[in-house]
Amino acid sequence: MTNIEALYNTCNTIINTFYPAEGPMILALANANMASDDDYVANDINIIKAALVLCGGFVATLQIEGDVHNDTDREAAKRNIYWWALKHGLDPDEYIRPDTVITDRSYLW
């Protein structure tokens, strides 16, 4: 298994409705100084960190492709990110983004 395959599968394990695109995965691996096509080393913390970053940025709540619908429970996703971070000795607050509330009507422009 390669690093990019491991990252993809780890993201999908953390949030089972998340199928990250190749570009963001390559960027996340590059930011961790890892080559996407190198062989995966089991339990590499850099793969976990990259997956948590990508999962923390996952915003889709409903995806529709043909007859397939995926709805994401954001609170459950946050709990999963929190659990995975703690499981690997990481600070969950570094990976869970606070909800953003727009109060100045900037959504109108």
Phi, psi of 26, rounded to the nearest 5 degrees:
-60, -40
Question: What is the reported pTM?
Answer: 0.78
Residue 8 CB neighbour total at 10 angstroms: 20
- Please give the pLDDT value at position 99: 63
Q: Nearest CA to 52 among 16, 92, 24? A: 92
| Domain residue ranges in the chain | 3-108
Q: What is the mean pLDDT of the chain?
A: 83
| Digit-coded pLDDT (tens) for 66-102 | 655 455 567 788 889 999 999 999 999 898 877 655 5
pLDDT classification of 17: cutoffs 50, 70, 90: confident
Q: Which whole number is the average pLDDT over 50-56? A: 92
Rg (CA), the chain: 15
Size of the chain, expressed as the number of residues it contains: 109
- Please give the pLDDT value at position 89: 96
* Residue scoring higher pLDDT (53 or 72): 53
- Please give the pLDDT value at position 90: 95
- Please give the pLDDT value at position 63: 53
- Please give the pLDDT value at position 66: 61
**First-to-last CA distance in the chain?**
45
- Please give the pLDDT value at position 70: 53
